[in-house]
Structure 1
Amino acid sequence: MTDNKIIVKYLDSSTEKLEFVYEYINTSRYQDELIKDYNLWNQICSSLYVINDTILAIKSYLSKKYPKDIGRKYLYTYGILQALFTQQDAVINLTECFNVETKVCDVFREIRNLRNISIGHPTKLERREGVYYGYISRITLSKFSLNYIKPIR
C-alpha cells in the first residue's frame, strides 16, 4: 500500500471516529447538558468543523498533482503545513472540552515546529536556543519534502 493510501485510510478512520463524537453531542441527554455551557459548546462545534475541514484539505492535497509553478508550490506547501497545524490545535481543543489529556507525538511536534519556523515566523523567531532567520530552499520544494535553511545567531 502506498503512503498516500495509508494516510487516506487513516484520515477516513479519523472521520469515522469523529462521527462517534457527533452522535454523542447530538444525543439529547448529553446535548442539553453541553449546551448549558455556551463557550464549551462552541469550542466543541468549532473544533469538530475544523478537524473535518482540514481532513478534506489534506485528502485534496494528497489526491492532486503537485504543481510545477513555483508560486503554486509555495501555496500548496504553506497550505498543507497550515492545515496540519490547525488540525492539531483543533484536536487539542476538542479533547480539552471532554477533559481528555493529549500528548503530541514527536512527528506532530516536528510538523508544528517546521510550520512555525518556516511559514509562521520565518524572518525572526526567538527561541531559547537562539534566534532563527529561516526560509524554505526553493529548489528543494516537492510534494513530500523540503529543505529548511536556518541560520542561527
Structure 2
Amino acid sequence: MKELSRNIRDLCNHPWKRELVFQDRIKWNKLWTSLDAIEDTQLAIDSYLNLEDFSSNNGGYLFIYGVMQALNIQQDAANNLLSALYDKTINFKTEYPDLYQIREHRNNSIGHPTKRGNDKSFHFIGRASIKKSGFTLASYYPKTGETSKFEDINIIQCIETQDDLIKNILTETMGKLESDFQKHKNKFKGKKLADFIHNDFHYEFSKLYENVGRDYPLAGMNFDIICEGYNKVKEGIKDRYFTIEALQGVQYTTQKLDYIFNRLKRDLIDNKISDEFELSIFIDALESNFKELQEMIDEIDKEFE
C-alpha cells in the first residue's frame, strides 16, 4: 500500500501531471488529501493489527470504533482520489460489493446504529462479544417487520479484504497514470526541441557581435532567427508540460532570456546605443543563458524520446 501510494505521488508530482491537475485547485487539494488519508488510515489499521487482544473493559469500544472508521475513511479516500484524477466515482455496491459490505458493517455498528434508513433499523454491538478479531452485531427492524438478527463481524477479515481491494484500485490508478503519460509522450515522438536550434546559432550570434562595433545590415535578420527558434522552444515546452512554470529552472532561465531579448531588440537592433561594452555584455548574457536553456532542452528531449 505504502509503495503504491508513493508511486502515485511521484507521478502526480511530475510536471506533466502536476500542472494539469493544479489548474483546478479543488481537484489539486482533493488529490493530495486523498493520498494522505489513504496512508494515514493505513497507519491506524496497522496499529490495530499490532494490538494485544482486548475486551470491552480495556479499550475495546475505542479500538473498534477507530478501526471501523479508518476502513471507511480509506475507502472514501480511494474514491476521491479517482474523482480528482479522472472525475470517476466508485459505486461500491456494484463494483466492489465486498468493500460495500464493510461500509455497511461500519454504518450499522458505529456510524449510525441508533437510526438507519429513516428508522428502518437499529443496531448495537454485543458488549460481551468484543475482542480484537471482531464482535457480534445485533440488528432490529421494527418498521419493516424483518426478523431480528445477530451477525458476527470479523474485523481481521474485513481488513484483509479491504487491503487487497484498495491495492487493486491503486494499482489500476497507477497503471492508468503511466498509460496516460506514455500516450502524452508519444505525441512528441521524433520531435525534438533541439531541432528548433540550428547549429546552436553559432553563426547568428557571431553576427550580433559584429553589429556592436559597426552597422551590420543583416544583424536584425540573424536576431530574428534566434528569436524565432527561442519562441518555438518555449511553445514546445508548453506543449509538453502545459506551462513554462512547470519547470522552475526553465522558468527562471526564460525570464532572464525574455528580458535580454527585449533589451537587445531595443538597444542593438531597433535603436542601437553607442555603449559597445553594454551591448557586448548583453550578447554574452544572451549566448550564455541560451546555452543553459539548451542543456535543459536536451534533458526534456531525453524524457520524451
**Deviation digits for residues 40-99 of structure 1, max 9, x if unmatched?**
000001100000000101111101213345251000001000000000000001012222
Matched, 1:109 2:96: no
Structure 1 residues 74-85: aligned runs within 5 Å: 74-85=61-72
Of residues 115, 121, 124, the one that matches 2:112 is 121
Of residues 124, 127, 132, the one that matches 1:143 is 132
Question: Aligned with 2:117: secondary structure?
Answer: strand
Of residues 89, 105, 117, the one that matches 2:76 is 89
Structure 1 residues 20-39: aligned runs within 5 Å: 20-39=7-26
2:57 aligns with 70
2:122 aligns with 133
- Distance in 2, Cα, partners of 1:142 & 1:107: 22
Inter-CA distance 103–123: structure 2 relative to 1 (3 Å threshold): closer
Any gaps of 5 or more consecutive residues in structure 1? 1-13
**Across the two proteins, how many residue pairs are aligned to each other?**
138
Any gaps of 5 or more consecutive residues in structure 2? 143-305
Which residue identity does 1:138 align to in structure 2? R
Inter-CA distance 59–24: structure 2 relative to 1 (3 Å threshold): same
- Distance in 1, Cα, partners of 2:139 & 2:56: 24
**Deviation digits for residues 8-65 of structure 1, max 9, x if unmatched?**
xxxxxx2111111101111122211211110000000110000000010111110121
- Distance in 2, Cα, partners of 1:126 & 1:101: 22
Percent of residue pairs bearing the same amino acid type: 31
1:132 is displaced (CA, Å) by 1.0
1:43 aligns with 30
- Distance in 1, Cα, partners of 2:56 & 2:99: 28
Larger radius of gyration: 2
Inter-CA distance 86–95: structure 2 relative to 1 (3 Å threshold): same
Q: Is the 8 A contact 2:123 2:137 kept in 1?
A: yes
Inter-CA distance 71–123: structure 2 relative to 1 (3 Å threshold): farther
Inter-CA distance 68–139: structure 2 relative to 1 (3 Å threshold): closer
Which residue identity does 1:62 align to in structure 2? L
- Distance in 2, Cα, partners of 1:95 & 1:34: 12
2:226 aligns with none
Query: TM-score, normalised to structure 1's length?
Result: 0.83
- Distance in 2, Cα, partners of 1:92 & 1:118: 22
